[in-house]
Structure 1
Amino acid sequence: MGYNEKERAFIEWYPRGYGVGFKVKQRIFETQTEYQRIEIYETEGFGKLLILDGTVQLVEIGEESYHEALVHPVMLAHPNPRRVLVIGGGDGGTLREVLRHKTVEKATMVEIDEGVVEASYLYLDVASELLDRLIKKEEPRGELIIGDGVRYLKETDERFDVIIVDSTDPVGPAKLLFSEGFYRSAYEKLNERGLYITQAGSVYLFTNELLDAYRAMKKVFDRVYYFSFPVIGYASPWSFLVGVKGDIDFGKVDVERGRGLELYYYDPERHGTLFQMPKYVRDLLERA
């Protein structure tokens, strides 16, 4: 796994020998923080590539294929999302998409690794202007907190309409963000009508992790939905899990609000296509 200087390529290897790779021109940044190794490469055809501990987080050209799918389905399914929490998401792309919604009065991003925010601000063309305003505390509707999202969720007195977890894959250190205890904290901090969403890994290659997270969420939330979306740079299709508190129907979204967003990848008018999951995976989830 990682950068092959001879081949001038970065390859992320998944289970069973499946890999996703990019041809790169050069490595432009590398550092080891308290939490993880951060690398940024210039690719041949997709702009810059952000790597955390050897795993692809995003490429500049196509990053919206992830951020749109993570943010807009839940934001448009909620009737009035005013207060939003983003856990993780240090590159700023998720918060950028959240703030496109005019209903939002306050959106808080809690990122554990300040190094990710700094590297994204300095080297990536994803949300650098937004990160600059957050760092300077000049974004009127947004707040950046450098800290542990798990601890923040337990200790905060705030309540949210939507909670979005933009984390690394549901393996290794990030597994705590896919635990029943964490889901209970999130459920408690949602308002009476609220939505929670997390990415949940590759449909084909992290199927067991998807099933584990789905089972844990079903013990906590009133209803749990699953969907998939093709994400550039990942072993797609990529899975997402949505937990519902209250009477919100995630099967429906506000199409009119969605039209005003002028999205590139996620289409609110075709929201139902999100739920097309491979039959064997759907069968496993329905038996979970």
Structure 2
Amino acid sequence: MGYNEQERAFIEWYPRGYGVGFKVKRRLFETQTEYQRLEIYETEGFGKLLVLDGTVQLVEIGEESYHEVLVHPVMLAHPNPKRVLVIGGGDGGTLREVLRHDTVEKAIMVEIDEGVVEASYLYLDVAKDLLDRLIKKEEPRAELIIGDGVKYLRETGERFDVIIVDSTDPVGPAKLLFSEEFYRDAYEKLNDEGLYITQAGSVYLFTNELLDAYKAMKKVFDRVYYFSFPVIGYASPWSFLIGVKGDVDFTRIDLERAKKLDLYYYDPERHETLFQMPRYVRKLLEGQ
């Protein structure tokens, strides 16, 4: 796994010998932060590549294929999302999409690794201006907190309409973000009508992790939905899980609000296509 100097390529290897790779021109930056190894590469055809502990987080050209589907389906399904919490997402892409919604009065991003925020600001053209305002505390509708999202959610007195978890894969250190205890904390901190969303890994290659997270969420939330989407740079299709508190109907979205967004990957007019899942995976999920 990682950068191959001779081949001038970065390859992330998944289980069962499956890999996702990019041809690279050069490595721009690498460091060991307090929490993880961080690398940034310049690719041949997809802009810059952000890697954490050997796993692809995003490429600049195509990052919206992840950020749009993580954010806009839940934001458009909620009738009036005013207060939003983002856990993780240190590159700023998720918060950038959240703030495109005029309804948002306050958004808080809690990122555990300050190094990710700094490197993203210095090297990536994803949300540079937004990160600059956050660092300088000049963004009127958003706040950056450097800290542990699990601890923050447990201890905060804030309440939110939407909670978005933009974490690394549901394995290793991020496992706590996919636990029943964490989901209970999230449910408690949602308002009476609230939506929670998390990425949940590769449909084909992290199927067991997806099933485990789905099972845990069903114990907590009033309803749980799942969907998948092809994400550039990931072992697609990639899965997402949505937890509902109250009477919010995730199958229906506000198309009038959607018209203002001019999205590139997620198509609000074809919202129902998100729910396509391989038949065997759907049967496994429905058996939980």
TM-score range, shorter chain: over 0.9
Report the equivalent of 2:47.
Answer: 47
**2:19 aligned partner, one-letter code:** G
The answer for the alignment partner of 2:115 in structure 1 is 115
- Supply the distance in 1 between the matched residues of 2:264 and 2:138 (Cα, whole angstroms): 28
Partner of 1:87: 87
Q: Is 2:182 the counterpart of 1:185?
A: no
In 1, Cα distance between the equivalents of 2:162 and 2:89? 15
Shift in Å, 1:259: 1.1
- Using the TM superposition, give the Cα deviation of residue 26 of structure 1 relative to its aligned residue in structure 2, in angstroms: 0.1
Q: Distance in 2 between matches of 1:107 and 1:205?
A: 33
Q: Which amino acid aligns with 2:210?
A: L
3-state SS of 1:101 partner: coil
Inter-partner Cα distance in structure 1 for 2:258 and 2:116: 30
**Paired residue for 2:225?**
225
Equivalent position of 1:163 in the other structure: 163
The ranges of structure 1 where at least 4 consecutive aligned residues each deviate by more than 6 angstroms after the TM superposition are none
Tell me the residue number matched to 1:70.
70
Q: Which residue of 1 aligns with 2:142?
A: 142
Alignment RMSD (CA, Å): 0.3
One-letter code of the match for 1:115?
Answer: G
Distance 2:155 2:286 in 1: 34
Partner of 1:96: 96
1:198 aligns with: 198
- Which residue pairs with 1:125 in the alignment? 125
User: How far is 1:251 from its partner?
Assistant: 0.4
Q: CA deviation at 1:94?
A: 0.1
**Residues 176-227 of structure 1: CA deviation (Å, up to 9, x unaligned):** 0000000000000000000000000000000000000000000000000000
> Could you tell me how far apart the structure 2 residues matched to 1:11 and 1:259 are?
38
* Cα distance in 2 between the residues matched to 1:88 and 1:276: 27
Three-state SS of the structure 2 residue aligned to 1:162 is strand
Deviations 1:246-276 (A, max 9, x none): 0001000001111110000001100000000
Aligned counterpart, 2:281: 281
**Alignment-mate amino acid for residue 179 of structure 1:** S
In 2: Cα distance, 1:33 partner to 1:65 partner? 27
Superposed CA offset, 1:50-90 (max 9, x none): 00000000000000000000000000000000000000000
Matches within 5 A, 1:249-264: 249-264=249-264
* Alignment partners' CA distance in 2, 1:254 and 1:263: 14
TM-score w.r.t. the length of structure 2 is 1.00
Q: Distance in 2 between matches of 1:186 and 1:207?
A: 23
User: The residue matched to 2:224 in structure 1 has which SS?
Assistant: strand
Quick check: 1:210 aligned with 2:210? yes
Measured in 1, the distance between the counterparts of 2:46 and 2:142 equals 28
Aligned to 1:7: 7
Structure 1: tracts of 5 or more residues without a match: none
**Secondary structure of the structure 2 residue equivalent to 1:264:** coil
Matches of 1:228 and 1:2 in 2, distance apart?
Answer: 26
1-side partners of 2:11 and 2:125: how far apart? Answer: 22
Q: Which amino acid aligns with 1:269?
A: E
Q: How many residues align?
A: 288
Structure 1 CA distance, aligned partners of 2:285 and 2:154? 29
Deviations 1:18-62 (A, max 9, x none): 000000000000000110000000000000000000000000000
CA distance in 2, matches of 1:97, 1:260: 12
Structure 2: give runs of 5+ residues left out of the alignment: none
Question: Distance between the aligned counterparts of 2:14 and 2:285, measured in 1?
Answer: 22
- Counterpart CA distance in 1 for 2:248 and 2:258 is 17
> Matched residues in 1 for 2:94 and 2:33: separation?
22
